Structure 1
Amino acid sequence: MKLIGYFRSSAAFRVRIALNYKDIKVEHASRHLRKGEQRAPDYVALNPQKLVPALVLDSGEVLTQSLAILEYLEEIHPEPPLLPKDPVGRARVRALALIVSADVHPIQNLRVMAYLRDKFGQTEESAFAWSRHWIETGFEAYEATIAKDQRTGAFSHGDTPTFADLCLAPQVFNAQRFKVDMARYPTIQRIHAACMQHPAFDAAQPSRQPDAEL
């Protein structure tokens, strides 16, 4: 398999963590989002959304959307699991993952910020303020959901990583870039620290990718 991503992409970050956690070996390739390489015709043929990641299977099939890719990896490599065994637990984990992946990340990513600047004349500072607002809104909900729930353990659900943590950790990286005051979210901070001590998360972080711009 081949994973096409970008070192700073939160969505690609999620998939890299899952691949590491399940010890699935893939070829890695990159499309530089700031240079517009995702809009090249050969990539658009693979992923008409012009987004990363894309997972190219050995069969030639192409999977897109990070959560769909995570579900696929969980099905073909169920061990070690990234979803709880009980249906309610699985629903909780998916809901936490969606707070980040559906309600926060899409409205503060690169193309949205570029649209704010190019079409509405927003400055870099005001575009950053937009992003901070939506990250803080999502983190307030995430923190309130996990802070006093007995199902929260070392990680967002129990004592092993789940889809929720795979979405949360990359978003914390974004929050730091946008100067979010993380002291307001102590449970998220604690879980993020636990995540980044795990080899699967550490190896997947942006600075450790071959295409990273230091």
Structure 2
Amino acid sequence: MERSIETQVSQAVDAWLLWLPRWEPATHRGRVAPCRRCFGSPVLSAAGLGADVPHGVQHGLSTRIKTIVDRAVAEYTSVNLPMLQAELDQQATRNRARSYRPAEGLEPEFEGLPLDPDPVPGAPFLFTISGLAEEVDSAVPDLPPLSAEAKAALRQEVGLADDYANMVGREICAVMLHHRLRIQTAIQEFVEPQIEAMLEELTRSLDAPFDPNDPLNG
């Protein structure tokens, strides 16, 4: 039996809550560009995860919810949008021909994130994961071109798929409101204490920038 959106959202939140105790604040340099999946997400707003919640915490939930939307749109497309489905099938076949697919099979907490860290000025990379993937991708033949009529029909079906995705997203937001309390409770239990500890450590380091026990500071 097909699971309802409500059931899928509940299971996604359950999975996220099981993962959340393992979350730890990132110690590496933050990124300049915001995450397109999480920034301004209505789903995260419905869940009560605002800008004060670390991105890693948000991303773990938004990615799990995106999987629900993607699955629903894929089912709708397979039944109602034959041109778009044929295009997706061709693209899937092309992707399977690639020998190196580093963005596939990642855990939800890492899915959709950049493959490489931001570059450091004056310290160029010898190689990047995304660059290696692009080299492999360039060796795979492009899909055959579409006629003008086919492009117009495909654009129309893409628009229908987008409309359906928006409809599913609105339904998910309504369901997510029922999970706000347990999401907020988990944030208070597992996330806020770690953030407070980081702020306390930062305050101590600012108040005493030099170690009095260091002989160089004597």
**Higher share in strand:** 1
Which gives a bigger RCO, structure 1 or 2 (Cα 8 Å, sep 6+)? 2
Alignment TM-score > 0.5, same fold: no
TM-score, structure 2 as length reference? 0.31
**Higher share in helix:** 2
